[in-house]
């Protein structure tokens, strides 16, 4: 499974990809094209940033679930009270 999300630079509007594991609130990285530092903040008023944060959050959950589905046999059964 692809573990990267698409990010759109708020300045030059070019798209690039970064690991969903990294892209979360407080993270920042440099745009490969215009070298602007792109900040990922919950309160960002840039739609592209919010979108990337949301996509990354969703993808992290999907990856975690996929990892759990992949290894049920090797894990001892644990009874969980709900
Ligand atoms: Zn850029």
The pTM of this model reads: 0.79
Q: Is there a contact between 44 and 50 (Cβ–Cβ < 8 Å)?
A: yes
pLDDT > 80? residue 39: yes
Q: How far is the CA of 48 from the centre of ligand 1 (A)?
A: 12
The closest alpha carbon to 57, from 27, 29, 13, 23, belongs to 23
* 46, 81 Cβ separation under 8 angstroms: no
The alpha carbon of 43 and the centre of ligand 1 are apart by a number of angstroms equal to 20
Q: What is the whole-number distance in angstroms between the Cα of residue 58 and the centre of ligand 1?
A: 24
CA of 12 to the centre of ligand 1 (A): 4
- The 10s digit of each residue's pLDDT in 40-82 is 998 899 999 999 999 999 999 999 998 888 766 666 667 777 7
Secondary element (H or E) of residue 53:
helix 47-70
């Amino acid at each position: 499974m692809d573990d990267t999300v698409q990010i759109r630079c708020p300045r030059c509007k070019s798209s690039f990809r970064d690991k969903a594991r990294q892209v979360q609130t407080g993270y920042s990285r440099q745009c490969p094209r215009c070298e602007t530092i792109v900040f990922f903040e919950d309160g960002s008023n840039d739609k592209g940033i919010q979108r990337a944060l949301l996509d990354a959050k969703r993808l992290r959950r999907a990856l975690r679930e996929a990892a759990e589905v992949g290894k049920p046999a090797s894990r001892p059964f644990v009874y969980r009270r709900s």
